[in-house]
Amino acid sequence: AFAFNKNAFEAKSMADVVKAYGAGAPAESKDVTLTAPDIAENGAVVPMAAATGLSGVKHLLVLVEKNPNTLVAKFDVTDAVEANFSTRAKMSQTSDVYAVAIMNDGKALYTKKEVKVTLGGCGG
């Protein structure tokens, strides 16, 4: 039951991640919400939440575009949970953050927000 989509986690852009999950070209949508700070003082711990009120959601993804690998986390949505997940991510530098909803019909909808990082979280 524990699958791990290596292609998706090694992808370098939002479009490649969406492709790795077999979805079509992503479109911006107001129905997907992303909660993240405007400025993250510490890139090692950046709270972010992805949510949508749409029905028929298969996966919710959280992505940080300029990280070495774009995909942070993928959540499988079932009837038993709300399509609303919060976690904390690392960010290497100031970047656009994406919340992407992959729908049962293969559509990909996203919302993005720029988060400024004053101290990177990937060490060096």
Partner 1 sequence: MADPMRIRAQSQGNNAVVRVLMSHEMETGQRKDSAGKTIPAWHITNVSATHNGKPVMSAEWGPAVAKNPFLQFTVKGAKAGDKIAVTWKDNRGDTRTDEATVS
Pick between residue 27 and residue 53 the one whose CB is nearest to partner 1.
53
- Least distance in angstroms from the C-beta of 1 to partner 1: 7
Q: Are 71 and 7 in contact (CB under 8 A)?
A: no
Here the tokens at position 104 are 């049962």
For partner 1, the binding residues (CB under 8 A) are 1-5, 8-9, 44-47, 49, 64, 67-69, 71-82, 84-92, 121-124
* Least distance in angstroms from the C-beta of 121 to partner 1: 7
Closest to partner 1 by CB, 27 vs 123, is 123
Pairing between β-strand 95-103 and β-strand 57-64 as defined by DSSP bridges: antiparallel
44 vs 54 by CB, closer to partner 1: 44
Please say whether the beta carbons of 89 and 74 come within 8 A: no
Reported for 76-82, long-range contacts at CB under 8 A and 24+ positions apart, including other chains, are 82/51
Minimum Å gap between C-beta 118 and partner 1 is 16
